[in-house]
Structure 1
Amino acid sequence: MIATLTSPLAWPFVVLALSVLFIIIAISKLKLHPFLALMMAGLFAGLLSAIVPDSTLLPDGTLAVNSVMDVTKLLMTGFGTTAGNVAMSIGLASIIACCLMLSGAADRVVTRFLQAFGDERAGLALLVSTYILSIPIFFDTMFMLMVPLAIALHKRTGKDFLLYILCICSGGVIPHCLTVPHPGPIAMVDTLKIDAGFSILVSMLVGIIPSGAGYFVAKWMNARVTIPLRVSLENSSDTQKGNAPSFFASLLPILIPIGLIGISSMWKIFGGMPAVGETSVLRNLIDFIGDKNIALLIGAIMSMWLLKQSKGMRLAELGETLAKPLETAGLVILITSAGGAFGSMIKNAGVGSAVKHVSEGAGISMILLAYVISLVMRVAQGSSTVAMITASAIMYPLLGSDLPYHPIYIYLSIGFASFALGWMNDSGFWVVSRLSGMTEKETLKYFSMMLSMLSLLGLAVTWLGSVVLPMVSK
């Protein structure tokens, strides 16, 4: 039995199972911080790999970890590489999010959409505005920002409270789990080696389908049940009033970075203009301003200017205001980088080679496999970000040059799975439950059920896209 478990093909699965179980127990039962859980799991996986040297006999390669002395070095290399790739993006995104909220820009965008759509389609207005604003703003923060508007709308119309809440959720969750610069998608882009701009373009377009479907699911649920208003506006996060920027100016810190990244990505995809050389000034300029870090830096500067102008802040006050979101970003960077460290240990344990060998023999779809791995991690420990980090780390070694479709479909599959079946171990579950006033049973029945339905729809759209538009040359 022991000889079987330590065989070259079986041992990587043992390493994977034990290290994932360690993460689940550490986060869900022992309540360890995800940073510690992921770093310790990476160390654990590395040590397990090192103690069975015969596992280097896999047919398609050997393990990078061959001794205990290599473990710490490889763990920190994975941590540092990931931190270098994601830290600036996450920090700048937190600045943009903070400035949009405090300047009143986010409130201006939502208010304009509500005016355009009218009270009868207020749910759709909330969904669309949340979908756009959630590109740089985390789901929990976005929900806190939007709840007062849902409450105020319900007080004005006297109906549709559940519709408003679910539309906010549908508009906010999908960008959070699919779109750079959120930490999970940033980690996936880094791990799966996908162009950031291309991932934004595809995820925002594909995400429209399940997010839009969320509006009709929300209407269907709202028509069958009335959720009373159990919270007051005074107890919710208040929206920013005062000298808010214009609607157009409010959108610029979001649209400009997306546009710059998108132009750079399209240039790379289509090879630029034939008359423009690879080393031309124009090509270099596009590559520079289209880099995700530079584009987000431009967006952050614009958002800081909006906040400074709307509140009449001095530079010193602006610096103090940004300290808190940057502290929060620091924690997110640590977690994401720890996930990268864990992923490097999983990769070097030979898990990818072993899973690929088994999946090819069983004829398992890579898209479905990615979805299941992400879903299991999501349900087990609650964090969408950890689920995306872990699943992408497991899947990357499986994605050889013979993959019949672009890796973006693996990215989408992991992202869609990462918000399904949310329950009591998910922080977002409690944010929605407490701020909306819904009971735990109601939150499970409506919030969790709707997101699970949208997740499955996203999987179906992803699979269909891989068949109809594989985006690889045959």
Structure 2
Amino acid sequence: MTTTFAILLATAAIIAVVVLIARFRLNPFIVLFSVSILLALCAGMPADKVVASFEAGAGHVLGHVGTIIALGTMLGKMLAESGGADRIALTISERAGRQRIDWAMMVIGLLVGLPVFFEVGVVLLFPLAFVLAARTETSLLRVALPMGAALSVTHAMIPPHPATLLALSAYHANTGTTIFWGVLLGTPIAAISGPLFARFISPRVLITEKNALAEQFVQREIPTNLPGFMVTVLTITCPVILMLIGSSADMFTTPRSAANMFLHFIGNTDIALLLATVMSFYVLGLARGFSRETILRFTNECLGPTALIMLLVGAGGGFGRELIDSGVSKAITDAAVSAHVPLLVLAWLLAAIVRVACGSSTVAMSTASGIAGPILAHSQGVSPELMVIATGAGSVAFGPMNDAGFWQMKEYLGLTVPQTIKTWSVLETIIAVLGLVFCVGISMFI
């Protein structure tokens, strides 16, 4: 297969995905599946191996990420039902004061966003944003946008989010180092795209429509019997702490010793999330007076909405596998290596393109890392951890209208579509651009 044909084929496949999803409004899973199959057939791959290749790619991705999605969703559910999210928001906002409420909401978003999907974080925290905006007589945009920026940053750049973990696997990056860079780079990015941007844009976008949803929550009484602040924060950050311990185990224990293997075991992503979720069943469940039957109901009912997410993530993995098995990825890899295309930029662009195509940042990150991973394996001098961050930054680019988050923000804030583009889409683009700029800048010194 010639390099030109491989590039044209991959380009045509990506354009087809964009057009079919964005223009014709077809189901993203069907589109990714169909385009993957057609790409492999056009590349000359034997028909009897095409479907098996897609299944292998989807199975590999889901085998890694399915458990993460399930456990993270359960942990988020316990956080919501116990009032843990309310406790964190109230405590931080009370200590921050009225003038710094936007900065407080950014911190809240960073903390609560660690174990939950962006969409779940929005549902958890927007009621509190409504209440705090009303009680402090602050613009809802100034309160809510910093929260949304923080949730988006944690979703894209900081493990244990599923997409970030997929990129970790694809690039063979170190978990602890990725968390370090994710926090170090993600915090100023959240600050610029959150409180600073919100202070600039909120006076320029006036919300004139009556927000019935906000009124409903403003009238809501916040429970007085909430879990403690420290125990809630400890439960949320438990998986991150365990993963950091596991990734640094070789620094203070003898490799392959019993203690070393134990620390690596509890620092494994699946085990860390499992331990944190089981911990939440007690400290946010049984200790709060919930029965075992109630906790079981919570964990069962929260998994239904994750089905589509898993399908899309799996389809993204299948698409990436078809590119590899058909030889298209190798041809592009050889061309990229010989042309010295900056890998950080390439990974960012791939993620941004898929983001526009299907809307899902998780699919964008898993697909882009699946394509860029083999290129990184043949390259030197590029940090795998920065590749994770750059890919994550590209995966939230533009805040397109085929992203569920776009419509969530529109409805919760009571904005028109043009106003949502001016606020949320611009905010997401700021995160994406700053993520790439920071990664390229840091790569010059490490």
What's the TM-score bracket when you normalise by the shorter of the two chains?
over 0.9
Deviation at 1:186, TM superposition (A): 2.5
> Which of these residues, 74, 79, 90, is aligned with residue 95 of structure 1?
74
Tell me, in whole angstroms, the C-alpha distance in 1 between the residues paired with 2:233 and 2:27. Answer: 35
TM-score by length of 1: 0.87
Question: Which residue is 1:9 aligned to?
Answer: 3
**Contact 2:160/2:240 (8 A) holds in 1:** no
State the Cα deviation string for residues 355-401 of structure 1 (Å, max 9, x = none): 23333454431111221222122223322122112211221121135
Give ranges in structure 1 of 5+ residues lacking alignment.
1-6, 52-64, 470-474
Question: Which residue is 1:255 aligned to?
Answer: 237
Tell me, in whole angstroms, the C-alpha distance in 2 between the residues paired with 1:178 and 1:34. Answer: 24
Tell me, in whole angstroms, the C-alpha distance in 2 between the residues paired with 1:259 and 1:367. Answer: 28
Tell me, in whole angstroms, the C-alpha distance in 1 between the residues paired with 2:254 and 2:385. Answer: 28
- Does residue 40 of the first structure (1) align with residue 34 of the second (2)? yes
**Contact 1:230/1:436 (8 A) holds in 2:** no
Deviation at 1:250, TM superposition (A): 0.7
Tell me, in whole angstroms, the C-alpha distance in 1 between the residues paired with 2:443 and 2:316. Answer: 27
> Which of these residues, 433, 438, 444, is aligned with residue 421 of structure 2?
444
Question: Which residue is 1:22 aligned to?
Answer: 16
Tell me, in whole angstroms, the C-alpha distance in 1 between the residues paired with 2:131 and 2:209. Answer: 11
Alignment of 1:2-151 (within 5 A): 7-49=1-43, 51=44, 65=45, 67-151=46-130
Find the residue that maps to 1:326 and give its secondary structure: coil
Deviation at 1:221, TM superposition (A): 1.9
Deviation at 1:212, TM superposition (A): 1.4
> Which of these residues, 365, 375, 387, is aligned with residue 398 of structure 1?
375
Deviation at 1:417, TM superposition (A): 1.4
Deviation at 1:254, TM superposition (A): 1.7
Deviation at 1:22, TM superposition (A): 3.5
State the Cα deviation string for residues 225-254 of structure 1 (Å, max 9, x = none): 543573143445968625321001111222
**Contact 1:103/1:307 (8 A) holds in 2:** yes
- Does residue 217 of the first structure (1) align with residue 212 of the second (2)? no
Give ranges in structure 2 of 5+ residues lacking alignment.
none
**Contact 1:23/1:41 (8 A) holds in 2:** yes
Report the CA distance shift for 1:196/1:88 in structure 2 as closer, same or farther (over 3 A): farther
Find the residue that maps to 1:468 and give its secondary structure: coil
Tell me, in whole angstroms, the C-alpha distance in 1 between the residues paired with 2:260 and 2:62. Answer: 27
Q: How many residues align?
A: 443
State the Cα deviation string for residues 152-191 of structure 1 (Å, max 9, x = none): 2232232332211211111111111122332322322222
Question: Which residue is 1:306 aligned to?
Answer: 283
Tell me, in whole angstroms, the C-alpha distance in 2 between the residues paired with 1:380 and 1:72. Answer: 22
Question: Which residue is 1:265 aligned to?
Answer: 247
Question: Which residue is 2:259 aligned to?
Answer: 282
- Does residue 358 of the first structure (1) align with residue 338 of the second (2)? no
Q: 102-111 or 155-164, which moves further after superposition? A: 155-164
Question: Which residue is 1:231 aligned to?
Answer: 211
Tell me, in whole angstroms, the C-alpha distance in 2 between the residues paired with 1:226 and 1:33. Answer: 34
In the alignment, residue 280 of structure 2 is paired with which amino acid? S
Tell me, in whole angstroms, the C-alpha distance in 1 between the residues paired with 2:379 and 2:312. Answer: 32
Alignment of 1:147-158 (within 5 A): 147-158=126-137
TM-align CA RMSD: 2.2
Task: Tell me the percent identity.
Answer: 27
- Does residue 168 of the first structure (1) align with residue 151 of the second (2)? no
Tell me, in whole angstroms, the C-alpha distance in 1 between the residues paired with 2:35 and 2:161. Answer: 23
Question: Which residue is 1:338 aligned to?
Answer: 315
In the alignment, residue 37 of structure 1 is paired with which amino acid? V
In the alignment, residue 64 of structure 2 is paired with which amino acid? N
Tell me, in whole angstroms, the C-alpha distance in 2 between the residues paired with 1:278 and 1:139. Answer: 37
Report the CA distance shift for 1:359/1:100 in structure 2 as closer, same or farther (over 3 A): same
In the alignment, residue 3 of structure 2 is paired with which amino acid? L
**Contact 1:178/1:415 (8 A) holds in 2:** yes
- Does residue 369 of the first structure (1) align with residue 346 of the second (2)? yes
Tell me, in whole angstroms, the C-alpha distance in 1 between the residues paired with 2:185 and 2:16. Answer: 34
Looking at CA atoms only, which structure, 1 or 2, has the larger radius of gyration? 1
Report the CA distance shift for 1:192/1:360 in structure 2 as closer, same or farther (over 3 A): closer
Tell me, in whole angstroms, the C-alpha distance in 1 between the residues paired with 2:325 and 2:98. Answer: 55
Report the CA distance shift for 1:373/1:445 in structure 2 as closer, same or farther (over 3 A): same
In the alignment, residue 19 of structure 1 is paired with which amino acid? A
> Which of these residues, 281, 288, 306, is aligned with residue 329 of structure 1?
306
Q: 123-132 or 392-401, which moves further after superposition? A: 392-401
**Contact 1:161/1:228 (8 A) holds in 2:** no
Report the CA distance shift for 1:42/1:197 in structure 2 as closer, same or farther (over 3 A): farther
**Contact 2:160/2:239 (8 A) holds in 1:** no
Report the CA distance shift for 1:333/1:195 in structure 2 as closer, same or farther (over 3 A): farther
**Contact 1:102/1:240 (8 A) holds in 2:** no
